[in-house]
């Protein structure tokens, strides 16, 4: 279980009860510019996360990037294959053949990503490989195998191009320190693992590649959970940035919604909510 699954198990209701979802500060839109072209919603969301990180790394060579979840999947499977001969995913056994395919895709992804970062040319082959690479995330995150060799739908490649073209200039032109998919140090382990998509300067951003631009209970509880972990991380890691703004980037709309982090941190219920979240994680993982 992770922060995501803790929230989905019912803790999100604790969050919104303690710190109300700020609907009054949110302006929705029905102007979906890059609407999905297939039903591969989750996969394209993950793939776009990787593409955005590649773009920001290209534009900001000093951006901090520690790990890629897809490669964590390879390490997980490799460890089991070395000892047991296979990794037992929820939907099938992952053996040496599948592991070899995963490693091949990762190698190709790294090579094509390096080329993109160096020359800025967005090729269809890189987008295709990015989508295949993104398929591996679910092994680590959910214990499920998605065949990396499966043919990529050309419409998904076109979808990725449309999302790429909407990346806002304030992401591209920022002079602030950028952290790509950062975790929260030991605080992440308190909830079984957690990482937010992006931190730009003092703004923490979760990316939502969703059909609708809306602020719901789950989205809000997620970003509040991340803000708690960011605050907790600062207690032990002074290099972790002080978060002053929370944001949701709705990638199909090209719109970034922001709110002052003090809406969370200065809420009279904040400290109690923080205690409850850490306590929930400690009960599950015996860390605290």
Query: pLDDT by residue (tens digit) across 189-205?
Result: 888 889 999 999 999 99
* pLDDT at residue 236 greater than cutoff 50: yes
Mean pLDDT to the nearest integer, 125-136: 99
Mean pLDDT to the nearest integer, 126-155: 97
Average pLDDT, rounded, for the chain: 95
pTM for the whole structure: 0.94
**Greatest CA separation found in the chain?**
54
pLDDT digits (tens, 9 = 90+) for 99-124: 999 999 999 999 999 999 999 999 99
Q: What is the 3-class SS of 152-186, one letter each residue?
A: CCHHHHHHHHHHHHCCCHHHHCCCCCEEECCECCH
pLDDT digits (tens, 9 = 90+) for 244-273: 999 999 999 999 999 999 999 999 999 999
* pLDDT at residue 288 greater than cutoff 50: no
**Structure token pair of residue 252:** 């199909």
Cα 233 from Cα 248, distance rounded (Å): 21
* pLDDT at residue 1 greater than cutoff 80: no
Predicted local confidence at residue 286, as pLDDT = 56
pLDDT digits (tens, 9 = 90+) for 46-86: 999 999 999 999 999 999 998 899 999 999 999 999 999 99
DSSP code at position 124: H
* pLDDT at residue 287 greater than cutoff 50: no
Q: Between vectors from CA 279 to CA 273 and to CA 284, what angle results, nearest 5°? A: 135
Predicted local confidence at residue 192, as pLDDT = 84
**Structure token pair of residue 262:** 């003090």
Going by pLDDT thresholds of 50, 70 and 90, the confidence category of residue 144 is very high
**Structure token pair of residue 256:** 């970034």
Instruction: Report helix, strand or coil for 34.
Output: coil
């Amino acid at each position: 279980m992770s922060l995501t699954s803790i929230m989905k198990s019912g803790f999100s209701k604790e969050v919104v009860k303690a710190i109300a979802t700020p609907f009054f500060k949110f302006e929705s839109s029905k102007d979906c510019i890059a609407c999905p072209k297939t039903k591969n919603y989750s996969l394209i969301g993950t793939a776009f996360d990787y593409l955005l990180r590649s773009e920001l790394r290209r534009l900001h060579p000093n951006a901090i990037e520690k790990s890629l979840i897809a490669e964590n999947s390879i390490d997980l499977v490799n460890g089991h294959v070395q000892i047991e001969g296979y990794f037992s995913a929820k939907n099938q056994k992952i053996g040496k053949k599948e592991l070899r395919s995963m490693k091949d895709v990762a190698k190709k992804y790294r090579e094509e990503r390096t080329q993109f970062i160096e020359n800025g040319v967005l090729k269809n082959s890189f987008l295709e490989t990015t989508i295949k690479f993104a398929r591996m995330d679910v092994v680590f995150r959910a214990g499920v195998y998605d065949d990396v060799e499966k043919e990529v739908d050309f419409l998904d490649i076109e979808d990725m191009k449309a999302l790429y073209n909407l990346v806002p200039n304030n992401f591209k032109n920022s002079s602030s320190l950028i952290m790509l998919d950062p975790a929260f140090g030991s605080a992440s382990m308190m909830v079984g693992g957690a990482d937010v998509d992006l931190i730009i300067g003092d703004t923490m951003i979760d990316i939502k590649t969703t059909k609708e631009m809306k602020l719901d209970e789950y989205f809000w509880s997620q970003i509040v959970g991340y803000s708690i972990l960011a605050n907790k991380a600062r207690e032990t890691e002074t290099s972790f940035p002080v978060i002053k703004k929370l944001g949701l980037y709705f990638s199909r709309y090209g719109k970034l919604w922001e709110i002052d982090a003090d809406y969370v941190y200065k809420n009279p219920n904040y400290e109690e909510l923080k205690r409850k979240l850490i306590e929930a994680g400690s009960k599950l993982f015996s860390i605290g």
